[in-house]
Amino acid sequence: MGLTAKIRTRDGWAVSHAVVTVTDMAGTQVLRAEADAEGAVRDTTELAPGPYTVIVTAVGYAPVASSALVTASGRAELGAVTLARQGGTELPPPGPWTIDPAHSSVGAVAQHLGISSVHGRFTEFAGRVEIAPDEVEKSRVDAVIRAASIDTGNGMRDDHLRSPDFLDAEKYPEITYRSTGLTAAGADRWTVHGELTLHGVVRQVDLDLAYLGTGADPWGGTRAAFRATTELRREDFAMNYNQVLQAGIAAIGTTLKVELDIQAVQGEALPQA
């Protein structure tokens, strides 16, 4: 006898802090139970046969109400109950996530000669994501990039980018980003607010973030995928070098499009190659 249920997110993860409240048809509460660490509810309270209303709530999630029928045996099996993030927004399960450099990319695109683009990437970086358990907006991202790891596929150009004309990698070896908050921008989209330190200059920079989902990897771990973009003005970070061609066209554009494709592994462990 009693009530059983499994409380899950849309990605299938347990909601361990969910509360199940059961009322009879007169609106009187007859049962209240909390989910365990696996998101399971197993309550042995004896209920009279008949229809009931079941309400499932959890901090950070929209409540769900449904009907349940208690059989003559005194049992009600709700099965899996899916909770959506408050406002329809989704993120991975709470806790620490470690960015996997081997399966992520940090790229930048600059306009060249006014007619084409040059694509570059940083090959050395690391970072950590902390998903807050209750107020998702308090989640954090911290990342560091080795400035000297810039790679555009041309050694002479890369050396110039490492020089004081641009990154000045010897004087400012690290590029860092530390988030200060999140704002929901859709069901699976967020604006990440944070501080970017580049070329010795600190500026507020927002990232347009899309959460692509969560799943198991071949090494027994769990991964979450994100894509983020932003646009930077070089002059905001004291990188004013340019060469004006005879036609009056700048050799290098004044803005940079930053494109991040990130995989993060759940926990603090180092990712597998």
Per-residue pLDDT tens digits for 115-140:
557 889 999 999 999 998 877 888 99
> Is the CA virtual torsion 103, 163, 252, 143 positive or negative?
positive
- Per-residue H/E/C for 184-225: ECCCCEEEEEEEEEECCEEEEEEEEEEEEEEEECCCCCEEEE
Task: Return d(Cα 101, Cα 262) in angstroms, integer.
Answer: 8
The arithmetic mean of pLDDT across residues 194-222, rounded, is: 90
Domain boundary among 47, 64, 84: 84
Whether residue 243 has pLDDT greater than 80: no
Task: Return d(Cα 208, Cα 147) in angstroms, integer.
Answer: 22
Phi-psi region of 238 (alpha: psi -120 to 50; beta: other; left: phi over 0): left
Whether residue 247 has pLDDT greater than 90: no
Tell whether 73 and 208 lie within a shared domain.
no
Q: Please report whether residue 125 resides in a domain.
A: yes
The arithmetic mean of pLDDT across residues 155-160, rounded, is: 91
Domain CATH number, residue 57: 2.60.40.10
**Which is nearest to 93 in space by CA: 190, 33, 10?**
10
Whether residue 114 has pLDDT greater than 50: no
Query: Residue 90 — very low, low, confident or very high, per pLDDT cuts 50/70/90?
Result: low
pLDDT on residue 145: 97
What does pLDDT average to over the chain?
86
Q: Please report whether residue 178 resides in a domain.
A: yes
Residues 34-57 have pLDDT tens digits of: 998 888 999 888 888 999 999 999
pLDDT on residue 180: 95
Whether residue 111 has pLDDT greater than 80: no
pLDDT on residue 77: 87
Tell whether 104 and 166 lie within a shared domain.
yes
Domain boundary among 52, 84, 116: 84
Task: Return d(Cα 119, Cα 257) in angstroms, integer.
Answer: 9
Q: Which residue has the tokens 């694509």?
A: 119
The tokens of 13 are what? 């993860």
The domain tally of the chain equals 2
Which is more confident, 155 or 269?
155
Pairing of strands 150-151, 189-198: unpaired
Tell whether 34 and 129 lie within a shared domain.
no
Task: Return d(Cα 185, Cα 191) in angstroms, integer.
Answer: 6
Which residues touch 218 (CB under 8 Å, ≥6 apart)?
Answer: 272
The arithmetic mean of pLDDT across residues 86-107, rounded, is: 85
Q: Please report whether residue 273 resides in a domain.
A: no
Tell whether 35 and 107 lie within a shared domain.
no
What φ, ψ does residue 8 adopt, rounded to 5°?
-135, 160
Instruction: Write out the residue range of the structural domain in which residue 59 sits.
Output: 2-84
Query: Residue 112 — very low, low, confident or very high, per pLDDT cuts 50/70/90?
Result: low
Tell whether 108 and 75 lie within a shared domain.
no
